[in-house]
Amino acid sequence: MVHAVEVDSLVKRFGEILAIDGLNFRVEEGRIYGLIGPNGAGKTTALRIISTLILPTAGSATVFSHNVIREASEVRKLISYLPEEAGAYKNLSGYEYLQFMGKFNSDDKRDLKAMVEDAAAISGLDERLRDRVKTYSKGMKRRLLVARALMHKPKLAVLDEPTSGLDVLHAFHVRGIIKQYVEKHDVTVLLSSHNMLEVEYLCDQVALINKGKIVAEGAPAELKAMYKASNLEQVFAEVAGLA
Amino acid sequence: MLEGLGNIVVKEVKELIRDPKILIGMIIVPAILFPFMGLAIRFATQTAAESIRAMPVGVIDQDKGAYAQALFDVFSGSNLTMIKLEATNVEQIARDVQGSNMTAVVVIPEGFSPNITNDKQAKVYVYGVFRGAGVAETAGPSAVVSVVNLFSKSLALSKVGNNTAILDPAYPSQQSIVKGKAVNVSPSVLSTLVMMQYIGLPVGITVLIIFSMQIAATSVASEKEEKTLETMLTMPVGRFTILLGKLSGSVIAAAVGALAMVIGLNYYMSSLTFAIPTQASVDLANIGLAPTLPAYLVLGASLFVSLLSALALAIAVSSLTEDVRSAQAVVGYFYFITFIPMIFLMYTDISVMPLALRLVLLAIPYTHPMLAARAVFTGDYTTAVLGIIYVTAFTLVTLYLAARIFTTEKILTMKLRFRRQKPKREE
C-alpha cells in the first residue's frame, strides 16, 4: 500500500541541538494526520523536511513514494506547504497573490480561473481580495494563505499550525475549511498543532511528539480510551510524564 | 527549464515598484529632485544676474579728461548701472559707500588721460565693497575689471592702427591628433567634451549598480522578512529560476529608477548650462570620437555583465541575512568597492597608475565598463572584450555561489544580523 507520507528513523541535528530523534510515522491517503506537542518538540522541523525545505541528518522521508531528498522536485508538485509564520506579498492584491501562486500549479487559463475562484470562496474575503495584502488583518491574511494552500487540491497539504495566532472566529472558519476540503476533494493533510482540542476535532490519526520523539500514536478516541483520559491534553500529560 | 520565470519576474517588478521605499526613494525623488535642483540653480543664476544689474557701481572721476569720459561711456554702455560720485580721498569713499547698495567703486585718478596720451600706463582703482554676503559680492568688481580690460584692449588696438599682429606677434593655434589624424580642434575643447562623457558615464554606472544592488538585496531579504520565502521554495519551480526571476526583476526596477534619474539629471544639466554660451561646436562623429554601433554594443555588453555581477553579489550576500535592514547594511559595504573605480578613473588613465593599484582596479568588476567606455572611444575593442570575459567569469562564479545558497537549507538557516542587539536587562 502506498502511503501519502512515510517517515523512517528521521533525525535532524542543528549543531549541538537534536531537533528530531528517530521519528517514524505513516500517513494514509485521504486522511488528516496531526503532529501534536509543545513548542520545540520537533513538529515544524519534521514538516520542513517533508516539504523539501531542509535536509535530514539521517533517516528517510517519502511523499507518495517520492524521496524528499532525491526527488524533491517531484515532491513539490504533489504538496502544498503552509508555514506557521507565513506571509503574503504585501504589495500585491489578494487576487494577484492567488494568481501568482496558482500559475506555478497550472498554465491553463481556465484551470487558473477556477482555482482562484475556489480560493476566493475558501477565504471568504470577497471584495477585499482586490485590496493590497498589506491592508489585511492577521486573520484575513491567514485565511488567504490557507486558501492558497488548498486551492489547487494538492495530493498532500502540509499545514504547520494552521490556526496559529487567530481569534476564535477565524480559527473556527479555517478549521471548517480544512475539514470540508478533505472530505470533498480527497486531499491528504499533515498538520501540526499545539492546540490539542483543534487536533481532536480535525484529525483522524495523531502522533504525540515530545523532545523530537513520538511518544504515542493513534486515533484520538483510541488514545483517550487507552490512557483513560477525557481529552488529548490529558493523554499528552500522561505520556510525557507531566501528570 | 526556466518554467515560471516570467511569472516571477512580473511579480518581482510589481512588488518592487509598488514598494513605497523604492518608488519614492529610487524613482520619484531622483526624477523630481534633480529638476528641482536645476530650477533652483536657474532661479539663483537669474536672480544674481538681475541683482548685479540692480546694484550700482560708483565712479569717481578725478581726471576729468577725454579718456576718463571715454571709459565712463564704455561703463554706461555695459549692463552695469553707473553713478557718478564726488570724493577726494579713499577714507571719504569708504565712508560714503559702506552704507549704500553699491557693489564696487571705480576711481579714475588724476593724470589718467595724460598718461594714455603720452603712451604711459594709466591706473584705474577698482574697490569691491565687502559686506560678508558671500561669493556674489565678487560679481560687481569682476564685471568692472572686465569692462576696464575691454577698454584697454580697444585703446591698444587703436594705437597700433588695429593691427593685431603687433599686439600678439606670436600666438599658438591649438590642434589635436586623434587616432593618427590631425584635427583642427583645440585639445582643451576636445578633452572638455570627452571628459563630460568620462565623468558622466562612471557616475551613471556607479549609481545604476548601487540602485540595482539595493533593490536586489531588498527583493531577497523582504521574502525572508515577510515570511514568503519558505512557501516560495516549496513551489514546483526551480531554485535557479527563482534566483533568475529576482535578478531580472531587480534589473528592470533598477532600470526604471536609473531612467528616472537620467531624465532628472538631464534636466538638471541643461539648467546648469543654459547660461553658458556655446564656444565651440565640435562634431565628435566627424573626428572619429563618437561611439559607433559596435562600440555601443560592446559598451552595453560590458555594462550588462557588470550589472549582473553586482546583482548576483547582492543576492548571494543578502540571502544570508534575515531582514531588509541587515541586507541593505551588508550590501552597503560593497558600495565602497563601486566607488573606487569611479574615483580613480574619473580623472586618471589606468595606464599611468602604479601596477599594484592597476591590478586592484582590474580585479573590481565595476572598473571594466568604465574602461570599456574609454576603450571603445579610441577603437580599442580588445581591452573592452577582455574586460567582458573577466566580468562574465566573475558573474558566473558569484551566480554559482548564490545558486548554491538558494539550493541548500542555508538560505533558511543562515541569519547574519547587522543590527545592534539590545543589551540584556539584569534581573
d(CA A101, nearest CA chain B) in Å = 8
Which residue out of A90, A99, A103, A152 would a mutagenesis test of the B interface target, given it has the greatest number of B Cβ atoms within 10 Å? A103
Same domain? B150 vs B246:
no
Residue-range definition of the domain harbouring residue B124: 52-160
Which residue out of B16, B234, B409 would a mutagenesis test of the A interface target, given it has the greatest number of A Cβ atoms within 10 Å? B234
In the three-class reduction of DSSP (H, G, I as helix; E, B as strand; rest coil), residue B221 is classed as: helix
Which residues are CB-contacts of B305 (< 8 A; sequence separation ≥ 6)? B365, B388, B391, B392, B395
Residue-range definition of the domain harbouring residue A206: 5-239
In the three-class reduction of DSSP (H, G, I as helix; E, B as strand; rest coil), residue B180 is classed as: coil
Distance CA A152, CA A171 (A): 22
Residue A34, strand partner residues: A191, A206
Whether residue A53 and residue B231 make contact (CB cut-off 8 A), yes or no, is no
Residue B326 and residue B417 in contact, taking contact as beta carbons nearer than 8 Å: yes
pLDDT at site B351: 81
Q: Which of B14, B228, B238 sits opposite A87 (nearest CB)?
A: B228
Residue A88 and residue A147 in contact, taking contact as beta carbons nearer than 8 Å: no
pLDDT at site B426: 42
Which residue out of A49, A55, A100 would a mutagenesis test of the B interface target, given it has the greatest number of B Cβ atoms within 10 Å? A100
Whether residue A86 and residue B228 make contact (CB cut-off 8 A), yes or no, is yes
Total count of residues recorded for chain B: 427
In a domain, B7, yes or no: no
Cell of B155: 585703446
A133 touches chain B (CB under 8 A): no
In a domain, B24, yes or no: no
Say how many domains are in chain B.
2
Distance CA B327, CA B222 (A): 9
CB pairs under 8 A between A and B: 72
Whether residue B227 and residue A76 make contact (CB cut-off 8 A), yes or no, is no
Which residues are CB-contacts of A235 (< 8 A; sequence separation ≥ 6)? A208, A216, A223, A224, A226, A227, A229
Whether residue A76 and residue B409 make contact (CB cut-off 8 A), yes or no, is no
Same domain? B184 vs B156:
no
In a domain, B226, yes or no: yes
Q: Which of B10, B19, B234 sits opposite A51 (nearest CB)?
A: B234
Identify all chain B residues contacting A138, using CB atoms and an 8 Å cutoff.
none
d(CA B228, nearest CA chain A) in Å = 5
* Mean pLDDT, residues A219-235: 89
Residue A209, strand partner residues: A214
Distance CA B315, CA B327 (A): 9
Angle at A203 between CA A199 and CA A206, to 5 degrees: 80
Nearest chain B residue to A88 by CA distance is B228
A92 touches chain B (CB under 8 A): yes
Higher pLDDT, B254 or A101: A101
Q: Which of A53, A81, A105 sits opposite B412 (nearest CB)?
A: A53
Whether residue B11 and residue A100 make contact (CB cut-off 8 A), yes or no, is yes
Same domain? B156 vs B187:
no
Whether residue B11 and residue A73 make contact (CB cut-off 8 A), yes or no, is no
Which residues are CB-contacts of A96 (< 8 A; sequence separation ≥ 6)? A89, B11, B14
d(CA B5, nearest CA chain A) in Å = 10
Same domain? B130 vs B185:
no
Identify all chain A residues contacting B233, using CB atoms and an 8 Å cutoff.
52-53
d(CA A169, nearest CA chain B) in Å = 24
User: Sorting pLDDT into bands at 50, 70 and 90, what band is A103?
Assistant: very high
pLDDT at site A89: 93
Number of H helices and E strands in chain A, helices first, is 9, 10
Question: At which residue does the C-alpha cell 560714503 appear?
Answer: B96
pLDDT in tens, B279-321: 445 566 666 666 677 777 887 888 888 888 888 889 888 888 8
Whether residue A104 and residue B233 make contact (CB cut-off 8 A), yes or no, is no
Decide which of B128, B160, B192 is a domain's last residue.
Answer: B160
Q: Which of A54, A83, A92 sits opposite B231 (nearest CB)?
A: A83
pLDDT at site B269: 65
In a domain, B113, yes or no: yes
Nearest chain B residue to A99 by CA distance is B7
Complete DSSP assignment for A93-152 = BHHHHHHHHHTTT---HHHHHHHHHHHHHHHT-GGGGGSBGGGS-HHHHHHHHHHHHHTT
* Short-list B309, B341, B111, B398, CA closest to B206: B341
Question: β-strands B176-178, B181-183: how paired?
Answer: antiparallel
Say how many domains are in chain A.
1
In the three-class reduction of DSSP (H, G, I as helix; E, B as strand; rest coil), residue A49 is classed as: helix
In the three-class reduction of DSSP (H, G, I as helix; E, B as strand; rest coil), residue A33 is classed as: strand
Same domain? B210 vs B349:
yes
Decide which of B102, B131, B160 is a domain's last residue.
Answer: B160
Whether residue A77 and residue B236 make contact (CB cut-off 8 A), yes or no, is yes
In a domain, B214, yes or no: yes
Supply φ then ψ for residue B103, to 5 degrees.
Answer: -95, -20
Whether residue B230 and residue A81 make contact (CB cut-off 8 A), yes or no, is yes
Residue A213, strand partner residues: A210
List Cα–Cα distances, B47 to B41, B43, B54, B55, in angstroms.
Answer: 10, 6, 10, 12
Total count of residues recorded for chain A: 243
Identify all chain B residues contacting A108, using CB atoms and an 8 Å cutoff.
none
Question: At which residue does the C-alpha cell 498543532 appear?
Answer: A193
Counting beta carbons within 10 angstroms of the beta carbon of residue A169, is it exposed (0 to 12), middle (13 to 18) or buried (19 or more)?
exposed
Nearest chain B residue to A85 by CA distance is B227
pLDDT in tens, A61-97: 999 999 999 999 999 999 999 999 889 999 999 999 9
Instruction: Give the residue numbers in B contacting A (CB under 8 Å), as ranges.
Output: 4, 7, 10-11, 14-15, 18-19, 226-228, 230-231, 233-238, 409, 412-413
Identify all chain A residues contacting B230, using CB atoms and an 8 Å cutoff.
48, 53, 81, 83, 86
Number of H helices and E strands in chain B, helices first, is 17, 6
At A154, which CATH number?
3.40.50.300
Total Cβ atoms within 10 A of residue B361 = 19
At B69, which CATH number?
3.40.1710.10
Identify all chain A residues contacting B236, using CB atoms and an 8 Å cutoff.
73, 76-77, 104-105
Residue B103 and residue B128 in contact, taking contact as beta carbons nearer than 8 Å: yes
Residue A60 and residue A10 in contact, taking contact as beta carbons nearer than 8 Å: yes
ipTM of the complex: 0.92
Q: Going residue by residue through chain B (427 aa), what tens digit of pLDDT does each one get?
A: 678 899 999 999 898 888 887 788 777 777 777 778 777 777 777 776 676 666 688 888 889 999 999 998 888 887 778 888 887 777 888 887 777 778 888 999 999 999 999 989 999 999 888 776 655 567 778 888 888 988 898 888 888 887 878 878 888 888 888 767 787 878 877 776 666 555 666 677 777 788 888 888 888 888 888 889 999 999 999 888 998 898 888 888 877 877 777 777 667 666 655 444 444 455 666 666 666 777 778 878 888 888 888 888 898 888 888 888 888 888 888 888 888 888 888 777 788 888 999 999 999 998 888 888 777 767 778 888 999 999 999 989 988 888 888 888 888 877 666 554 444 444 3
Same domain? B188 vs B314:
yes
pLDDT in tens, A122-177: 888 889 999 999 999 988 999 999 999 999 999 999 999 998 878 888 888 889 88
Angle at B205 between CA B199 and CA B207, to 5 degrees: 100
A14 touches chain B (CB under 8 A): yes
Buried b (16+ CB within 10 A) or exposed e, A175-196: bebbeebbeeeebbbbbbbbbb
Decide which of B129, B160, B191 is a domain's last residue.
Answer: B160
